Amino acid sequence: MSDEADLIDVEDRFKATLDKFGRTYQTYSLEREINLAPVDDEEGFRLEQQHDLVKDILGDALSDAWPHHGLYPSFVGEPRDVLDCGFGTASWCAEVAEYDPDCLVIGLDIALHLATDFPENCSLEIADLNETITLASSSIDFVHSRFIAGGLSRYRWPGYLSDLFRTLRDGGWIQLMEWDLSFRSNNGEDDKLQALREWTRLYYMALDQSRQPAGKRLTQVTQLEDMLRTARFQNVSTRSIEVPTCGWDSRSKKIGEKNLANMQALIEAVARYPVLSRGLTDPATFEQILSAARAELALESAQPFLRL
């Protein structure tokens, strides 16, 4: 076999998709329990909207430290070599690369399906972040890792952060961002958010049962600061931002409204396959929970929010 034939074989392996429970997934990921979210246009659209939402949230909450491009804080300076882990639609990669045509942005993801448009100084590669990251040591100025917790196995986080530490040059920075998918009420009306609580329970249980090394545990995202210090990072700080899931807060009405569309789509997209494939509930009950949870996300009287 020539190298070319091998290459085609590898690419096909990553390209194949399958339809399950009404959405389209990457076959390679499902077989190995890597990314259990869909790779269809609907998810691509959601991720693009969520990318814009995050820029609005950060611009609002961190405006002093956050330049107008809204992609990373000012103190990161002008990174030459940038790494984006789990690039998805490549919206972030592409904007960083366009903002500074002299920098090179390397993106790693298990799937290329959602990335449609990116400039030449953006190099996208297939990699499973559960495996050791093989980029050269001290070759990166800035690492960005956003919303990949659903694809990292429980015991991988420390190794993942150590790998990223190794790839960074002295003085380099890392920016991690994850949702804490526990929905809360700002005015003590948590009893009105029962379907959301049930959704979180089912989704966390489904990920926990993953066949991939010991499953995934999303509550780990609240421990990232400790894990970063253990991985030898210095000058570590965490910012937890409360983001409304509808327009109940007049100070951030637009953000709440945008987040409502995002969260109503997210709770379906990320949970459908894991919950139904493990038989944690039947499809009809899952639809009922989803429908009730979507209504609760929009329930202004309960002032629902989650943390970023």
Q: Provide the binding-site residues for ligand SAM, judged by CB under 6 A.
A: 34-35, 37, 47, 51, 86-88, 91, 109-111, 114, 127-130, 146-148, 151-152
* 17 exposure class (CB count in 10 Å sphere: 0-12, 13-18, 19+): middle
Q: Which pair of tokens denotes residue 207?
A: 């990920």
Q: How far is C-alpha 191 from the chain's CA centre?
A: 28
Q: Which is nearer to ligand SAM, 76 or 299 (CB)?
A: 76
Q: Which is nearer to ligand SAM, 110 or 193 (CB)?
A: 110
Q: Which is nearer to ligand SAM, 31 or 300 (CB)?
A: 31
User: How is 28-67 classified by DSSP, letter by letter?
Assistant: HHHHHTS--S--SHHHHHHHHHHHHHHHHHHHHHSTTTS-
Q: Which is nearer to ligand SAM, 221 or 302 (CB)?
A: 221
Instruction: For tokens 């100025």, name the residue.
Output: 141
Residue 44 CA to residue 35 CA, distance in Å, equals: 14
Residues pairing with 126 in the sheet: 109
CB 37 within 8 A of CB 270: yes
Q: Which is nearer to ligand SAM, 119 or 247 (CB)?
A: 119
**Residue 3: what are its φ and ψ, rounded to 5°?**
-60, -35
Least CB distance from residue 275 to ligand SAM, whole Å? Answer: 17
Give the ranges where the chain is alpha helix by DSSP (H). 3-15, 27-32, 41-61, 91-99, 157-167, 194-208, 224-230, 253-269, 272-277, 283-297
Q: Which is nearer to ligand SAM, 43 or 141 (CB)?
A: 43
Residue 196 CA to residue 295 CA, distance in Å, equals: 9
Least CB distance from residue 140 to ligand SAM, whole Å? Answer: 16
Query: Smallest Cα–Cα separation from 112: which of 42, 44, 33?
Result: 44
Q: Which is nearer to ligand SAM, 196 or 266 (CB)?
A: 266
Q: Which is nearer to ligand SAM, 45 or 194 (CB)?
A: 45
- Measured CA distances, 137 to 144, 162, 164, 253, 265 (Å): 16, 11, 9, 44, 38
Q: Which pair of tokens denotes residue 151?
A: 């694809």
Q: Which pair of tokens denotes residue 240?
A: 């937890």
